Amino acid sequence: MSNQPKIKVCIAGATGWAGSELAKAITGTADLELVSAISRQHAGKNLNEVLDLKGSNIPVFATIEEALTIPCDVLVEYTKPDVAKHHILTALAKGVNVVVGTSGLSDQDYEEIGVKAQEHQQSVLAVGNFAISVVLLNKFAEIAAQYMSNWEIIDYASAGKIDAPSGSARELAYRLSQVKKQELQVSIENTKGVKETRGADLNGTQVHSLRLPGYVIALETIFGMPDEKLILKHEAGNSSKPYVTGAFLAIRKVSSFTGLKRGLDTVMDL
């Protein structure tokens, strides 16, 4: 049996779609311990009772400030973009490392977060999507961008998803921009008709966000060269279970560096 102390975890958004699945899974691990949770709807309750789990009391708080009165090593951020940044910066100031699963934070947000992480000598691992298939898509897309001239991203999600583009699409567009800058054959400015139909320019990549019933989450990158194209696509089902394995990896690896890293593959041997 390992003598290493358990990694103490707080989940912001612990009763949500992805957060609740992660909370349930943590209770079955030997090296992780869920010590607190954030959920405004269930504040003041015991998370074990809310999610029908077994074990000792896991208090649920309404705010990050209250939750961090219970010492923890890692905050897993699974809420909404309008509060996520505050959660992350507050945790860093309290000496807590952060794993980010929330969509909608901008490159500018991450620039500020990276500065604060270095300032407090803490770490932030920002993961647009914890699914291993998305990690591989990102890696394959970076390789393809080295050899293919142009690409665009299609971001699919359910009709109720409020942020567009998704965190996964933002992360992929950012990563492709680090490979090289592409030049459109016809610039958006020279496009005739309704320019908005060409999508949004995100770090030099045209991104199209579909929000329709029937979709859960999907991400597609289409690469084009004369007389050939390459299509890379990830599709997710209704279950949030595929994200648990990646989240476990992120929680266990986030203390292995200082500052900000973007993408789960940055702590993997790929």
- Summarised one tens digit per residue, pLDDT across range 180-189 is 999 899 999 9
52: enclosing H helix or E strand:
none
How big is the chain, counted in residues?
270
Per the DSSP assignment, residues forming a β-bridge with 200 are 207
In the block, residue with structure tokens 């077994």: 54
Q: How far apart are CA 251 and CA 46, in angstroms?
A: 23
- Are 190 and 113 within one domain? no
- Summarised one tens digit per residue, pLDDT across range 210-244 is 999 999 999 999 999 999 999 999 998 887 888 89
pLDDT of 1 reads 44
Q: How far apart are CA 270 and CA 264, in angstroms?
A: 10
Instruction: Output the pTM of the full model.
Output: 0.82
113 part of a folded domain: yes
Query: If DSSP codes are grouped into helix, strand and coil, which group holds residue 260?
Result: strand
228 part of a folded domain: yes
Q: Which carries the bigger pLDDT value, residue 231 or residue 17? A: 231
156 part of a folded domain: yes
Q: How far apart are CA 64 and CA 216, in angstroms?
A: 28
Cβ–Cβ < 8 Å for 150, 182: yes
Domain that holds residue 72: 7-126+240-267
- Are 230 and 248 within one domain? no
165 part of a folded domain: yes
Mean pLDDT, range 142-159, rounded to an integer: 96
- Are 115 and 172 within one domain? no
Cis before 165? omega within 30: yes
- Are 97 and 167 within one domain? no
pLDDT of 237 reads 84
- Are 49 and 92 within one domain? yes
pLDDT of 221 reads 98
Nearest to 134 by CA among 176, 169, 84, 98: 169
In the block, residue with structure tokens 């050899």: 147
- CATH number at 210 reads 3.30.360.10
Residue 21's identity, in one-letter code, is E
- Are 117 and 136 within one domain? no
- Summarised one tens digit per residue, pLDDT across range 27-83 is 889 999 999 999 999 999 999 999 998 778 999 999 999 999 999 999 999 999 889
Number of domains in the chain: 2
pLDDT of 63 reads 97
Q: Phi first, then psi: what are they for 164, rounded to 5°?
A: -150, 130
- Are 149 and 211 within one domain? yes
- CATH number at 45 reads 3.40.50.720
Q: How far apart are CA 200 and CA 153, in angstroms?
A: 10
Q: pLDDT band at 2, cuts 50/70/90? A: low
Structure tokens at 13: 């958004």
2 part of a folded domain: no
Q: pLDDT band at 140, cuts 50/70/90? A: very high
DSSP type of residue 30: S
Q: In this model, does residue 24 exceed pLDDT 80?
A: yes
- Summarised one tens digit per residue, pLDDT across range 86-120 is 999 999 999 999 999 998 898 899 999 999 999 99
Q: How many CB atoms lie within 10 A of CB 176?
A: 24
- Are 88 and 186 within one domain? no
Q: Strand 259-262 and strand 205-211: pairing?
A: unpaired
Mean pLDDT, range 122-136, rounded to an integer: 91
210 part of a folded domain: yes
Average model confidence (pLDDT) across the chain: 94
pLDDT of 240 reads 81
Q: How far is CA 86 from the centre of its chain?
A: 16
Burial of 14 (0-12, 13-18, 19+ CB in 10 A): buried
